[in-house]
Amino acid sequence: MEDYTYPSVYWMYSLMTLFVVGAVFFLVRAVRSGAVRDDEAPKYRMLHDDDLPIAQGEGGGNEQ
C-alpha cells in the first residue's frame, strides 16, 4: 500500500498558492485601475442628491 500523504499535501499547497496568487493579482489590478480609490463616492453622491431642487413634473405625487 502506497502512502498518499505527500501527493495530497503538495496538491493542497499548490491549490492554496494558486488562490493566493490569483487574489493578489486581482487586488493589484483593481488598485492600478483605480477601482478602489474612491469607493464610497456613490454613497455620498446619493446623499447629496437629495439637496438638489426637484425639476417641475418630477415630483412624487404631492406637487402643488
Domain ranges of the chain: 5-49
pLDDT confidence of residue 23:
98
pLDDT of residue 17: 98
Q: What is the pLDDT of residue 7?
A: 84
Q: What is the DSSP string of 31-56?
A: HHHTTTSSTTHHHHHHHHHTTSPPPT
pLDDT of residue 55: 61
Question: What string of pLDDT tens digits covers the 64 residues of the chain?
Answer: 477 788 889 999 999 999 999 999 999 999 999 888 887 887 777 776 555 566 665 555 555 4
